[in-house]
Amino acid sequence: MSSPVICFGQQPCGFFPKRFLVAKITAARRLYSEIGGEIVFFYHDSDHDPRETRTILPHRTTSAPAQLNFAFENKIQRKFSPLYLKRTVDGWQEKTISQLPNYVDHALIKLFKDTSAANVSDFCLQMYHKMGLLEGIRVVRSSDPELRRSAMDITDFFVDVPYENEIVRARYIDAALKLHEGGDQYTDVPLSPFDKEQISPTRDSRLSWMQSVLHCTHYVAGVGEQAYLNHADAPEINYLTRDSIDRSDEAYTELL
């Protein structure tokens, strides 16, 4: 039998990660302590939704929640560029640092201040490493060209393509590329040749696409994720629900 590969997946989910990500990590570590093998974090930084990186922090005195997020360079990039290509505006980090004493202690502020990255995805990942959350865990990124080349062919996907001086993540629908504006409204993107290095999966094709490369034996998922995962896409996997955790959407603000 092959060695266990214990996997969990998540988009970049705030510069301090949401507590539900930590609940996946603790569940994966506990299983690892029982069966060994390897833990893999499938870091889905191909996603483009800017809401994914909202960092929800309760005020240290009033407990009132604040939603902090990256400030992006322009509207097109904010709405449609993949997270691994979203860039922040000058001064965003300094402005955020000035707000953080209301929510977290000095040690976390220092980690945040000492972090520098060219894009949102890299910034979040550096923070998770610095907080000690990913020690001994292999990180695999959905934006990695090598992974994309190695993954199975899929018919339901997005394509990273140029549009208005940015790279956007356009949905491939009926042999056309489209940007979803909300509801049933779409903007067409000029169709040009593309290859596998530009392709990333949709929610419904992500599991089989990921599994074609990672070959995981166990997958830890949240309750919402379990609701849409089609286990038939990868029946060889043992599916587990993440650990229970309160205030799951809030940021995790402890150092390991």
pLDDT digits 0-9 by tens, 28-67: 999 999 999 999 999 999 999 999 999 999 999 999 999 9
- pLDDT at 1 exceeding the cut of 70: no
132 inside domain: yes
pLDDT digits 0-9 by tens, 241-253: 999 999 999 999 9
Residue 104: C-alpha distances to residues 12, 36, 202 (Å) = 20, 35, 35
Range of the domain at 80: 5-144+214-241
Q: What is the pTM of this model?
A: 0.96
255 inside domain: no
226 inside domain: yes
When pLDDT is cut at 50, 70 and 90, the band that residue 2 belongs to is: confident
- pLDDT at 256 exceeding the cut of 90: no
Both ends of the chain: CA-CA distance in Å?
33
Q: How many domains does the chain have?
A: 1
- pLDDT at 79 exceeding the cut of 80: yes
Task: Judge whether 170 and 76 are in contact, CB under 8 Å.
Answer: no
Q: 219 pairs with which residues across the strands?
A: 7, 239
When pLDDT is cut at 50, 70 and 90, the band that residue 132 belongs to is: very high
